[in-house]
Amino acid sequence: MGEYDFLIVGAGLYGATFARLATDDGYKCLVIDRRPNVAGNVYTENVNGINVHKYGAHIFHTSDKEVWDFANKFAEFNRYTNCVVANYKGELYSMPFNMYTFNKMWGVVTPAEARAKLDEQIALGKVDEPQNLEEQAISLIGPDIYEKLVKGYTEKQWGRKATELPAFIIKRLPVRLTYDNNYFNDNYQGIPVGGYTKWIENMLGGIEVRLGVDYLKERDSLDKIANKIIYTGMIDEYYNYSLGKLEYRSLRFETEYLPDTDDFQGNAVVNYTDAETPFTRILEHKHFEFGKGKGTVITHEYPAEWKPGDEPYYPLNNERNNGLYKQYEELAASDGNVIFGGRLGKYKYYDMDDTIAACMQDYKRITTT
Ligand code: FAD
């Protein structure tokens, strides 16, 4: 019997949720993280009074009431609603595609006019069996919107021409025939007041946390002190890449404080949808919290190829990687003492609400079997 019921590797959202649930049920937990801070990729750093989303824009949104109630135990959430602006060579469009977008693109005013224009556009480019992303997108939305709002952005994100990308990447391109520019359809949305780091710190309240500790460098001693390990790092790294390396897409962020600019772009997120601009988005962090103070912090977001050692942002869920992950999953199933969770442990893109929901399910399964 170890000193702790659970050793939780990773003080990100999954690790913090697991630790909270287990501690509240009377289990003794130790949380470790190799980073010098808690919160993993939802980490926000306070720069001159502005909470900066260090690992990209994070907007909490969910329709799951249990997840929303859990999230609200550790912070009050503000009323931030994500309304993205797309900048195509200086022309500004509302995203996701809605009546404001169609009005700007074609001058249509009513939903019936927009529907007729969309049908006309789709008929122009329709292909019965799209062979690549370009054909697929034009079949779904027509050439005008594709050229200005989909093509360049998607090519930058994937680092490849749309004609070289598989059609299945875009299954749907949702359109709204209303003047509703809320990016998400969920019932609940917001940003924790005081930043995500404070939110995670509150979630971890009263729980032992050790930072700057890499499990893989101290596994022999750490394994001895706990009965079960909850591992939220990369599953292939845990097994020393014995079956091969999983691949990711990465991002590069360039963040700067502008002391003499109080409002840089009037919105938290502006997408740059042409192919020539090298970054995909500019974030202006004060707008996540309706900040009014002097100065501002902006971040240019660049898509990047991933190589081992880089921050792994998005799993590259192609056939090769999914097959490899399955093999690691089988290895993990035969390994009685460790359970993999979170985005890296499960090699899956999870929004924050999915992360909490998956953790709640895992926790129930682990503690009732
Ligand atoms: P992580 O946050 O990565 O935590 C894992 C932790 O484990 C890390 O802190 C790491 O340091 C630690 N660790 C790993 N290996 C070891 C080791 N060997 N020893 C010790 N510690 C270790 N979701 C939304 O809902 N809304 C959004 O707007 C949104 N935007 C996003 C934007 C971007 C660019 C990205 C990439 C994701 C976004 N997400 C968003 C998803 C969100 O970031 C994830 O749901 C969440 O971070 C997952 O938490 P996690 O605990 O699984 O992983």
Residues with Cβ < 8 Å from 309, sequence gap 6 or more? none
Which residue, among 287, 295, 291, 296, has the nearest Cα to 266 in the 3D structure?
287
- The first and second tokens of residue 18, run together, are 């697991």
Mutate which of 31, 38, 42, 210 for ligand 1? The one with the most ligand atoms within 8 Å of its CB, which is: 42
Q: What pLDDT, on the 0 to 100 scale, is given for residue 317?
A: 84
With contact defined as beta carbons under 8 Å apart, do 288 and 80 qualify? yes
With 0-12 / 13-18 / 19 or more C-beta atoms within 10 angstroms meaning exposed / middle / buried, residue 363 is buried
Tens-place pLDDT, residues 184-228: 999 999 999 999 999 999 999 999 999 999 999 999 999 999 999
Q: Is 31 exposed, middle or buried (0-12, 13-18, 19+ CB in 10 A)?
A: buried
Tens-place pLDDT, residues 256-314: 999 999 999 999 999 999 999 999 999 999 999 999 889 999 999 999 989 888 999 99
Average pLDDT, the chain: 96
Compare 15 and 172 and report the one with higher pLDDT. 15
Measured distance CA(74)–CA(79) in Å, rounded? 16
DSSP track, 42-94: G-EEEETTEEEETTS---EEES-HHHHHHHHTS--B------EEEEETTEEEE
Task: Give pLDDT, residue 266.
Answer: 97
Catalytic member of 79, 128, 172, 276: 172
260 classed as catalytic = no
Closest CA relative to residue 97, chosen from 188, 189, 170: 170
Task: Give the residue, by CA position, lying nearest to ligand 1 atom 33.
Answer: 56
Burial 74-110 (b: 16+ CB within 10 A, else e): bbebeebebbbbbbbeeeebbbbbbbbbbbebbebee
- Candidates 317, 343, 347, 362: which one to mutate for ligand 1, based on the most atoms within 8 Å of Cβ? 343
Residues of the chain within CATH 3.40.50.720 domain(s) are 4-77+188-244+315-368
Distance (Å) from CA 232 to ligand 1 centroid: 9
Q: Ligand 1 center to residue 34 CA distance, Å?
A: 13
Catalytic residue among 176, 196, 272, 350: 176
CA of 234 to the centre of ligand 1 (A): 11
Query: Minimal CA–CA distance to 248: which of 159, 178, 163, 331?
Result: 159
Single out the catalytic residue among 88, 281, 353, 363: 281
Catalytic residue from among 64, 249, 314, 354 = 249
Active site residue 176: yes
Least confident window among 88-92, 192-196, 321-325, 335-339: 335-339
Give the mean model confidence (pLDDT) for residues 179-187.
97
Average of pLDDT values for 229-256? 96
Asked if pLDDT for residue 1 goes beyond 80, the answer is: no
Distance 11 CA to ligand 1 centre (A): 9
pLDDT given for residue 127 in this prediction: 87
The pLDDT value recorded for residue 358 is 98
Confidence label for 339 from pLDDT (cuts 50, 70 and 90)? very high
Looking from the CA of residue 343, the nearest atom of ligand 1 is 52
C-alpha to C-alpha distance for 26 and 22, rounded to whole angstroms: 7
Amino acid at 14: Y
pLDDT band at 169 (very low <50, low <70, confident <90, very high): confident
Is the per-residue pLDDT at 93 higher than 90?
yes
- Report whether 293 contacts 286 (CB < 8 A): yes
CATH of segment(s) 4-77+188-244+315-368: 3.40.50.720
Kindly give the number of the ligand 1 atom that is closest to the alpha carbon of 215. Answer: 19
Q: Is 56 in the pocket of ligand 1 (CB under 6 A)?
A: yes
Task: Write the pLDDT tens digit of every residue in 12-68.
Answer: 999 999 999 999 999 999 999 999 999 999 999 999 999 999 999 999 999 999 999
pLDDT at 164: 93
* CA–CA distance, 317 with 348 (Å, rounded to integer): 8
Query: Strand, helix or coil at 108?
Result: coil
pLDDT of residue 8 exceeding 80, the answer is: yes
